[in-house]
Amino acid sequence: MKVNKHYAQLEESYLFSNIAHKVADYQAAHPDADIIRLGIGDVTLPLAKSVVEALHTASEEQGHKETFHGYIPSEQGYPFLREAIRDYYARRSVRLDTAEIFVSDGAKSDLGNLLDLFDVDNTVLVPDPVYPVYVDDNVMAGRPIRYLPATADNGFLPMPGADTAGDIVYLCSPNNPTGATYTREQLKVWVDWANAHDAVILFDAAYECFVTEPGLARSIYEVEGAETCAIEVCSFSKIAGFTGTRCGYTIVPEALLREGMSLNKMWLRRQTTKFNGVAYIVQRAAAAVFSPEGMEQIQQNLDYYRRNAAVIGAALEEAGVWYCGGKNSPYLWLKCPDGMTSWQFFDWLLDTAHVVGTPGEGFGACGEGYFRLTAFGDAERTKEAAARIVAALKTLH
């Protein structure tokens, strides 16, 4: 037998294990150090009350013959959830048909699974730095990857140029890790490029809920022409704290055709063959997010994280450190001071302030010299970390 040799091409994912080892070693050597973690991308607030109530009610239904739900009638998702997602987009003037919405167990799964629709000979364009999963998904399949450098010069938002060539393009906006967010005008340039080049954009909108500034896009379908070139992947993880509950959704427009084939029909066929749907109780919980009470409760949680981001941002400004993000995103992306590399700054910050962040280099070569802090922590601990960061950074000048 032969194994998939492409797995040997995967680079070891040292980022989070390295961080864990370094923090554990430091704590062992300094047992009294009170370490604050601002490195994680996981949320910390619990599920909203209306979501928990929906989980309880749906669980109770599953315990009675009359209300029990077995196999999901449509692997694509219950109509009640797809209608709620359709209406969530309609409130932002994006018209979707429920046939275009596919409920999933999270964005990560779909970002990988969607590649089933595309030939391995396609060239993939991936921003650098970015959520590392896009690269590994394609390395596993043996697809050639070209990187789109995201640098301070382009505001960490790569744009297509005259020589940009590729078949599948990942765009992540608001971006993990930089927090940079495309305007509608910028996305229009990508959409026009993709339509002209017969390419498909995989648009990761996992952090759309953090966007507040007008002019910035929360969905690629806010841009004319996107329905013929873009698939959007989204998640309940960040909007409603579903990182441990697992639910997401993917939009594949009916107008998206390539080589005479409907990508919507292909994805439906793929999902009905390889996926048996998301648990009924989880779909009920996800639908509760979009109820009026659910929306209000999750906004309170998002505001809590936004305040954390503002606290960290104010600290960086006070310390005179360049950063971006944190305004339409839970991530702040700072330039390591004094020419430190990402990992040097990691060690320095851990030692000087007992604060843990994520070295930018772990998200791609262009992330070297940068550092990610997240707003998903506890508010009091974030304030404490911010005060320590200011005090530590001031010792450098």
Sketch the per residue contact string, 123 through 162, with ligand PLP: x for CB under 6 A, - otherwise: --------x-------------------------------
Identify the sign of the CA torsion 301, 128, 92, 231. negative
Does the footprint of ligand PLP cover residue 323 (CB under 6 A)? no
Q: Between residues 50 and 176, which has the closer beta carbon with respect to ligand PLP?
A: 176
Q: Between residues 206 and 319, which has the closer beta carbon with respect to ligand PLP?
A: 206
Q: How far is CA 329 from CA 161, 179, 254, in A?
A: 26, 5, 30
Does the footprint of ligand PLP cover residue 107 (CB under 6 A)? yes
Q: Are 359 and 38 in contact (CB under 8 A)?
A: no
Does the footprint of ligand PLP cover residue 248 (CB under 6 A)? yes
Q: Between residues 243 and 299, which has the closer beta carbon with respect to ligand PLP?
A: 243
Does the footprint of ligand PLP cover residue 108 (CB under 6 A)? yes
> Which of these ranges, 31-39, 104-112, 343-351, 380-388, lies near ligand PLP under the rule CB under 6 A?
104-112
Q: Which of 173, 186, 235, 328 binds ligand PLP (CB under 6 A)?
A: 235
Buried b / exposed e along 287-326 (16+ C-beta atoms within 10 A): bbbbbeebbebbeebbebbbebbebbbebbeebebebbbb
Does the footprint of ligand PLP cover residue 374 (CB under 6 A)? no
Does the footprint of ligand PLP cover residue 362 (CB under 6 A)? no
Does the footprint of ligand PLP cover residue 176 (CB under 6 A)? yes
Query: What is the enclosing helix (H) or strand (E) of 235?
Result: strand 230-235
Q: Which of 38, 39, 41, 302 binds ligand PLP (CB under 6 A)?
A: 41
Beta strands per DSSP E along 305-382: 323-325, 331-335, 355-356, 358-359, 370-374
Does the footprint of ligand PLP cover residue 237 (CB under 6 A)? yes
Tokens representing 311?
Answer: 């606290």
Residue in the block written with tokens 């997240």:
374
Does the footprint of ligand PLP cover residue 372 (CB under 6 A)? no
The 3-state DSSP class for residue 144 equals: coil
> Which of these ranges, 100-108, 150-158, 272-280, 292-300, lies near ligand PLP under the rule CB under 6 A?
100-108
Neighbour tally for 44: CB within 10 Å: 19
Q: Are 86 and 96 in contact (CB under 8 A)?
A: yes
Query: What is the enclosing helix (H) or strand (E) of 315?
Result: helix 292-318
How far is Cα 234 from Cα 297, in angstroms, rounded to an integer?
20
Q: Between residues 234 and 390, which has the closer beta carbon with respect to ligand PLP?
A: 234
Q: Between residues 203 and 384, which has the closer beta carbon with respect to ligand PLP?
A: 203
Does the footprint of ligand PLP cover residue 195 (CB under 6 A)? no
Does the footprint of ligand PLP cover residue 332 (CB under 6 A)? no
Eight-state DSSP code of residue 185: H
Q: Between residues 106 and 357, which has the closer beta carbon with respect to ligand PLP?
A: 106
Does the footprint of ligand PLP cover residue 253 (CB under 6 A)? no
Does the footprint of ligand PLP cover residue 264 (CB under 6 A)? no
Does the footprint of ligand PLP cover residue 329 (CB under 6 A)? no
Could you give the angle at which helices 79-90 and 280-289 cross, rounded to 10 degrees?
20
Residues sharing a CB contact under 8 Å with residue 267, sequence separation 6 or more, in sequence order: 102, 114, 117, 250, 252
Residues 202-221 that bind ligand PLP (CB under 6 A): 204, 206
Q: Between residues 333 and 392, which has the closer beta carbon with respect to ligand PLP?
A: 333
Sketch the per residue contact string, 53 through 92, with ligand PLP: x for CB under 6 A, - otherwise: ----------------------------------------
- Closest by CA to 228, choosing from 174, 192, 182, is 192
The 3-state DSSP class for residue 75 equals: coil
Residues that bind ligand PLP (CB under 6 A): 41, 106-108, 131, 172, 176, 204, 206, 235, 237, 243, 248
